[in-house]
Amino acid sequence: MPSKRGFKKRVKTQIYSLERRGHMLSPRRLFGTNGIRGVVNKELTSEMAIKIGSSVGTFFKHGTLIVGHDARTSSPMLTKAVIAGLNAVGCNILFVGMVPTPTLQYAIKNHKLDGGVIITASHNPPEYNGIKVIWNDGIELSRDQEIAIENIFFDEKMRYVKWNEIGTIRDLFGVVDDYVEAIKKHVNVERITKKHYRVVIDAANSVGNLATPYLLRDLGCKVITINGNIDGTFPGRLPEPRVENLTELASTVKAIDADLGVAYDGDADRSVFVDENGEIYWGDKTFALVEKYFLKDNPDEKIVTPVSSSTLVKDIADAYNGEIVWTKVGSVTVSQTMKKMKTKLGGEENGGIFYGPHQSVRDGAMATALVLNIMAKTNKKLSQLIGELPKYFIEKGKVECPENLKEKALEKLAEQMKGFNISTIDGVKVWFKDRSAILIRPSGTEPIYRLYAEAKNEQKAKQLVNKYSLKLEKLIDSVKG
C-alpha cells in the first residue's frame, strides 16, 4: 500500500508528464482543449480518476449527474473510478453505459439534471482515454468552471461526505431512443423516407454504431455498417475520421452503389461524409452545405465557426445574408459562443456540426440527418450539392519554433500585417482581397507553427505557404536577439 505522500508525488509526476505532451499548460492544469486526456495507466490512472471524480462532484455540490463512456478498453475501469470519486462526495449517479457523447449531452438536458461526465478520448488513438465534464445545458464546462475543478483537485478541497450521505448509482435506460426521436423532430422524416437512401456507416468500432444506424432505419434508409462491431482496440481504423483512415468507407460506398457514406470519430460527435462516387469531403465543405440551406430558411442568422475554417463558410454567409462570428479553435469555444450569442448554427473544419435547435454541441447523428434532409429536399446527390459550392485549394505547412519564442514572433507578425484584414483571436489569420487566406497557429503539442493556406488555385495556396514560412523563419531569428 503506497503512502499518501507517495501517491501525491506520483500524481504530480503524471501531471507534469501530461504537461510535456501539451495536454496541460501549467502544473495546475488538468483540462486541455477538450476535457482531460492522457495515455491510460501512464498519464491518466484510476487513482487520478477517483480524485478527479471527487473534485468534479465537489464542484457540482453533490447533485445528480449522468455518467457514461465510449468503447475503449480502459473506459469501464476509469468510469467505475470516476463514479467512486463522485459517490464519495455525495453525488448521485444515473449510469447510461456505453453511448455517443452527444447522446449523453442530450440526456442531461432532457432529464433536467445537474450535469454529467463522459469517459472518452474522442478521436485519440486507443491507448488514450479522457474525461469530459458537461454542464446542465448539455455543453462542456467553460474555462472558468474547469479552473474551479482544477483548484479543488490541486488544493485537495474535496468535500467527502459521511457514510450515510454517500451517493447512489442507478441505471438510466432509453437515452438512445430519446436522442433518436429528438433528432427526427428537426428533419422531414416523410420526405427522406420516400427516398430509400442506401447509407454506409463507419463508426470505427465505437459508439457511433449505437445510435445512427437506428436513426437512419427510422428515416427509411438501407443501412450498411463497416467496423460495426464494438471493439476498443479499434481494429478497423483509427478513431480520427481523417481522409487516410476512410479509404475502406469510400470504396465500400462506391462498390455497393450507396447514396452516402459517413464516418464518425471515437465518440461520434464529429462526422465526415463521402459522396456516391467515393469522394471524401473534409468538414468545412459539409458545414458550408448545411449552412447554405440553413440560411436559405433562416436569413440574417449568425454562424459561429473557428478561424481555422475555410473562407468558403464566409462566402456562403455573404451569399445568403448570414454573418460569421469567428472564434478560437475548439469545440467548447464554439458551443459557449453559440450559447452566449443565442445563435443556432456552428461548425468546424474537422467535421463538427452544431445544430442549436437540437443542441449547441457537435453531434454526428444530427449532422447526418441534416445532410440527408438537404439531399431529399433538393433531390440532388451529395456530389452535386458540394459541386455547387465555391471551390478552394488548401495547402499546409509547418515552421519550427522554440516554445519560448512562439508568442513574441507571432506578435511581430501581427504587427507587420496591420494593414491587412486580420484576426489575432487564435494565432494570426489574414484574409486577402482575392479571397485567399492564411492561418498561422502555434501548435499546442509541438515546438512548431502550423500554416494553413487556401486560395482559388493550387499554385497561389502553395505560394502563400512558402512566403509565410520564410517570413516566420526571419521573424523567429529576429526575436532570438
Chain residues binding Mg ion by CB under 5 A are 122, 265, 267, 269
Q: Which of the residues 54, 55, 122, 271 is marked catalytic?
A: 122
Q: Least distance (Å) from Mg ion to the CB of residue 442? A: 23
Q: Least distance (Å) from Mg ion to the CB of residue 397? A: 26
Nearer to Mg ion among residue 122 and residue 436 (C-beta) = 122
Is 55 a residue of the active site?
no
Q: Least distance (Å) from Mg ion to the CB of residue 265? A: 4
Q: Least distance (Å) from Mg ion to the CB of residue 273? A: 16
Cα distance between residue 265 and residue 284, in whole Å: 16
Nearer to Mg ion among residue 58 and residue 79 (C-beta) = 79
Nearer to Mg ion among residue 311 and residue 360 (C-beta) = 360
Q: Residue for cell digits 435506460?
A: 173
Nearer to Mg ion among residue 104 and residue 438 (C-beta) = 104
Q: Least distance (Å) from Mg ion to the CB of residue 19? A: 22
Nearer to Mg ion among residue 265 and residue 454 (C-beta) = 265
Nearest residue to Mg ion on Cβ basis = 122
Nearer to Mg ion among residue 269 and residue 395 (C-beta) = 269
Q: Residue for cell digits 485567399?
A: 436
Cell of residue 444, nine digits: 499546442
Q: What is the 3-state secondary structure (H, E, C) of the chain?
A: CCCHHHHHHHHHHHHHHHHHCCCCCCCCCCCEECEEEEEECCCECHHHHHHHHHHHHHHCCCCEEEEEECCCCCHHHHHHHHHHHHHHCCCEEEEEEECCHHHHHHHHHHCCCCEEEEECCCCCCCCEEEEEEECCCCCECCHHHHHHHHHHHHCCCCCCCCHHHCCCEEECCCHHHHHHHHHHCCCCHHHHHHHCCEEEEECCCCHHHHCHHHHHHHCCCEEEEECCCCCCCCCCCCCCCCHHHCHHHHHHHHHCCCCEEEEECCCCCEEEEECCCCCEECHHHHHHHHHHHHHHHCCCCEEEEECCCCHHHHHHHHHCCCEEEEECCCHHHHHHHHHHHCCCEEECCCCEEEECCCCCCECHHHHHHHHHHHHHHHCCCHHHHHHCCCCCEEEEEEEECCHHHHHHHHHHHHHHCCCCEEECCCCEEEECCCCCEEEEEECCCCCEEEEEEEECCHHHHHHHHHHHHHHHHHHHHHHHC
- R_g over Cα of the chain: 23
Q: Least distance (Å) from Mg ion to the CB of residue 70? A: 9
Q: Least distance (Å) from Mg ion to the CB of residue 44? A: 17
Nearer to Mg ion among residue 90 and residue 239 (C-beta) = 239
Q: Least distance (Å) from Mg ion to the CB of residue 31? A: 15
Nearer to Mg ion among residue 92 and residue 327 (C-beta) = 327
Cα distance between residue 424 and residue 413, in whole Å: 10
User: At 347, which amino acid appears?
Assistant: G
Q: What is the set of active-site residues?
A: 122
